[in-house]
Structure 1
């Protein structure tokens, strides 16, 4: 009985174990079945996409960057392809050893190592970085034969930007460079569409038009879908969308004129901007010294960067856009227009000029060349009378001067189509309160107004602003935003769209007042300070010289004491327009620390007018003398402009003339071209500026 009972208990336990085991097995199968349902049904689409991505690789295809051409079709920025030797740091065990071994296969210079190290610091570890660019075919073949030795190192075909004119027009063109980490972070805020368009792109516009028109120049990125093996090798192409090349920028700039002006500056510092006052097109946009944008294309080396960045002449500063200067006597015609427009002084009012003006216990002087005597408005401009404009500034007051001249574009951005423009300074009492923090510095003193009348004091403007202001004078009140790009060509659709300058609301200037200023500025070229410069010119022009102090004088210091330091000498300025009867060009030019306006700046303006209005190019002798500030009217036999080769060319490019967007003659190019404006570095001010 006991035995049967024990047997029954054992069988019960056995059945429970079997049931538990069966339940566990069924539970496990249930888990497997549910997992299978989850993977095969619920996660089907996601897993299928992942599986496809494992065998399909999407390779972005970078588009050709758009060209940049001048108004006559001459190419200023283009592209070429070359091979680069690139390293992916995450795939290399010993980076230094690998570079050392690579140096035995292809030439790797110390500057290449420095550039690679800098790029490594700025980039992520998994990005491919160039250790050598522009490899020759021999170097490519040599590396290909030993490629097995260098895992993580590869040869890639890249597009490189080329600036065939070198330094000519470098500040307006700008350059492209490798996208840095700061720019990558900024790109995170872009839309998904814009961000996708930059996949595979490693370069972006950094300065000038390359930066401002990046979206137009970049184009649309294409792609290839490639089926790959388990080892990652391409098997076949599944889909393909070609890239769309960037659009072509057609500038209003005449690069032959641009090159001439840069040559006339020589080794001197300064700027010039030329504008067509009828439509705002910029014909020349010069900043000297310049730099070679080709240095930045594949990453500038540390030595070149240090040299450019630490150069006292500041070649990286765009003086035409970001430099500000006291305008000196070139401000006087604008003051006269403000007086006429506000009714503060009539053109016929005569002021006795005794060569000194006393106010608040201080005496304000005149230049040595000035002559005493009674002067009306015209004679005051022609002879560049300081006393006349000292008294006018006192009568008008700082706020009225500001309110009258601000509409001419002074003290604010002109809105030109390139980034980085500064505002300059057109002072007012409110301006001074905003400018200075300390209460004792915020008060405007009546004596500070006096120097404003002759373009000194707090006055500081870019030459772009000065050229724009005199364009408004030349047209009798018509105003336009200046533009560097006149057309954009879609190279795929073969369509060109015109980029018109934005017309601003005209100023209500009375024709008789405009005529007074035009007549006086014409008198400057016939009997005034630029008479010798425009001697024999077959066209009429209006102009005004200016000699602005670069630094102020300390108590007890005389001007002759600071002339020993070249960088403290006066700046040479000139503003002008031509022809007087129907102006088609307005310009402003400055040559830093070059002295009298008639000695350095005005001769450059004369040669710009000769080029634009007559199609004439100065002789080599004349260019050499002008570079030294030793000319007035042109010397030697002038040449036909189109017969002079462009920089880097042995002879004029016939094809450029054939593809010109304006009539292919220097004279007709001249009719289309207009004004040159210099922009320069901000300088301190002081009284007693010369004409």
Structure 2
């Protein structure tokens, strides 16, 4: 009986072993292989960003980081104490490391510090025998060669936040970076690429024994911008540390050759990690270095808006190029008096003379005859009051007011006095420097709706497609009307009495045309007008006028447009125009070294021999109407 029982138990055991090893053998072999072999996702190299000539604006560089393996380190705290003698560790870094030591397995490497320089790497390597468990690892990090000059265009990359996790496994990789601003953000998917994989053999505890197979990820697409880095560098140096912005674009293709907002910031700091002191200095700076003023700064356009008003009046037929209006220094509407920037007045002027001298009284009367609705409609045809769709995040609409807008926003009807103020680019009107550049480009190219863009090719998450150099649909403007307005802008710079005469370009083949603008950000009382208006130099910086200038060159065959805004810079003719002159001169110098790509010429503007200080306008970004009155 005992032997029979043993035989029965043995048969059950043999049967079970047969079932596991023969019948279920394939299943358990598969499970064993799955436990033995781990697949790991590898981050792909991020695509480069280059300028129009192939110069690398954003690239990848080796990133040396020091890691610690708790299992090998033994006493982690003592090892960190020794390591901090070479690489100082903050209290926050040590708390983070302690959390990861508790959360992860003992053999998993933990990053202590990234972006080490070569001297730090060398000191750690020399002291490796005294630093158990400490290793140097090599990865890739985003690098911006000219960070301060390109920060507002390129943006920056930073670690993925919890709310940005979308289920893409790449986003969960330690140290993975995504675009957080600028071109890096807009084209993040195209730049990101696709991940690779590594097949490694591990033991029962998960420790890596050896790598069996490795397939590198596919690098992200290279994005080629329309920016010319030589010009970008020149503009950034020309602005210095002023609170200002410059936009340069091709009037035919819409390619943005330079977009600079000053002061700027170093995008490399956002990749490596900003200190609290650096962050506080950025957000407390009154000149707003984190704001891209070119697309997010909203300013009253001032007298740079007068060419649009002139075209609206010519199209309506309320004036002709020969219409003359007498300027005595002010005009009255009911009990209100509206002043010209020139106290004694300009006398009798026709349209080109009014543009040349930037006469406010002339344009008060022109605006009264034209009406706000016709001026607003013309302004929208020139790209004012709406987003232009430039491939950068954060673009603002600006504001082109109308009776309907005021009723909806404020609840009261439009007043005739507000039309007069709008006629000189003040009141509720707000524009961005990019919009002013597009307005100027459409004036210069013969009246075509050119759209600004930042990439040489159309970039999609799946690839790169070529653009076609189309100027856009015609705006339906009279060539004769455009010629009159452009002649007035020519006179502004090249006539002996033009408001920007001192900023003319001496080389005939490079001569520019333009329009000055000066926007007041404080109220001037009646008493101050009677005793003498304070000069900008006598005012605190925050109360000084904004200086603006828009222009195009060369006069005879326009190819480039520029807009310049200097916050609290004083006069448009004294501050902004010289910057535009230098920028357009350099733009054309560089263009002669690089032949054009078959641009179509527009009708030449005849040259002739024919001061700006228009006032009133809201502070940038305030969204509030300016103070009006005498």
TM range (shorter): 0.7 to 0.9
Partners of 2:255 and 2:453 within 8 A in 1 = yes
Equivalent residue in structure 1 for 2:223, among 249, 260, 263: 249
- Matching of residues 189-208 of structure 1 within 5 Å: 194-196=168-170, 199=173, 202-208=176-182
Cross-structure match for 1:567: 542
SS of equivalent residue, structure 1 residue 449 = helix
Q: 1:399 to 1:122 in 2, by over 3 A?
A: farther
TM-score, L = length of structure 1: 0.76
| Pair 1:230 & 2:211 matched | no
Cross-structure match for 2:395: 421
Structure 1 CA distance, aligned partners of 2:415 and 2:552?
Answer: 35
Partners of 2:328 and 2:344 within 8 A in 1 = no
| Pair 1:467 & 2:437 matched | yes
Equivalent residue in structure 2 for 1:337, among 311, 336, 340: 311
Cross-structure match for 1:70: 51
TM-score, L = length of structure 2: 0.83
| Pair 1:54 & 2:46 matched | no
Q: By how many angstroms is 1:320 displaced?
A: 0.9
Partners of 2:196 and 2:217 within 8 A in 1 = yes
Paired residues in the alignment total: 589
Q: 1:510 to 1:109 in 2, by over 3 A?
A: same
Equivalent residue in structure 2 for 1:520, among 462, 482, 488: 488
- Matching of residues 222-301 of structure 1 within 5 Å: 222-301=196-275
- 1:205-259 deviations in whole A, cap 9, x for unaligned? 1111111111222222111111112343433433332211222222211111111
Partners of 1:198 and 1:221 within 8 A in 2 = no
| Pair 1:398 & 2:372 matched | yes
Q: 1:227 to 1:68 in 2, by over 3 A?
A: same
Q: 1:341 to 1:86 in 2, by over 3 A?
A: farther
Q: Which has the higher contact order (CA 8 A, sep 6+)?
A: 1
- 1:541-599 deviations in whole A, cap 9, x for unaligned? 22101111123446866652985211110111110111223210011101111111111
SS of equivalent residue, structure 1 residue 311 = coil
Cross-structure match for 1:596: 571
Cross-structure match for 1:305: 279
Q: By how many angstroms is 1:143 displaced?
A: 6.0
Partners of 2:97 and 2:110 within 8 A in 1 = no
Equivalent residue in structure 2 for 1:510, among 473, 478, 488: 478
Cross-structure match for 2:417: 447
- Of residues 229-238 and 266-275 in structure 1, the stretch that sits farther from structure 2 once superposed is 229-238
Partners of 2:327 and 2:347 within 8 A in 1 = yes
SS of equivalent residue, structure 2 residue 398 = coil
- 1:319-358 deviations in whole A, cap 9, x for unaligned? 1111111111111011111222333432222222222121
Q: 1:557 to 1:93 in 2, by over 3 A?
A: farther
Equivalent residue in structure 1 for 2:113, among 115, 125, 131: 131
Cross-structure match for 2:519: 548
- Of residues 48-57 and 327-336 in structure 1, the stretch that sits farther from structure 2 once superposed is 48-57
Cross-structure match for 1:156: 137
- Of residues 203-212 and 680-689 in structure 1, the stretch that sits farther from structure 2 once superposed is 680-689
Q: By how many angstroms is 1:372 displaced?
A: 2.9
- Of residues 405-414 and 387-396 in structure 1, the stretch that sits farther from structure 2 once superposed is 387-396
Structure 1 CA distance, aligned partners of 2:102 and 2:332?
Answer: 67
Cross-structure match for 2:448: 478
Q: By how many angstroms is 1:91 displaced?
A: 12
- Of residues 200-209 and 218-227 in structure 1, the stretch that sits farther from structure 2 once superposed is 200-209
CA RMSD of aligned residues (A): 3.9
Q: 1:48 to 1:263 in 2, by over 3 A?
A: same
Partners of 2:179 and 2:188 within 8 A in 1 = yes
SS of equivalent residue, structure 1 residue 247 = coil
SS of equivalent residue, structure 2 residue 503 = coil
Q: 1:364 to 1:119 in 2, by over 3 A?
A: farther
| Pair 1:536 & 2:506 matched | yes
Cross-structure match for 2:88: 108
Q: By how many angstroms is 1:369 displaced?
A: 6.7
| Pair 1:614 & 2:589 matched | yes
Structure 1 CA distance, aligned partners of 2:53 and 2:331?
Answer: 52
SS of equivalent residue, structure 1 residue 600 = helix
SS of equivalent residue, structure 2 residue 580 = helix
Cross-structure match for 2:163: 182
Gaps of 5+ in 1: 1-21, 189-193, 616-662, 675-679
- Matching of residues 677-688 of structure 1 within 5 Å: 681-682=620-621, 686=626
Q: 1:200 to 1:61 in 2, by over 3 A?
A: farther
Higher Rg: 1
Structure 1 CA distance, aligned partners of 2:255 and 2:506?
Answer: 28
Q: By how many angstroms is 1:97 displaced?
A: 6.4
Structure 1 CA distance, aligned partners of 2:96 and 2:296?
Answer: 29
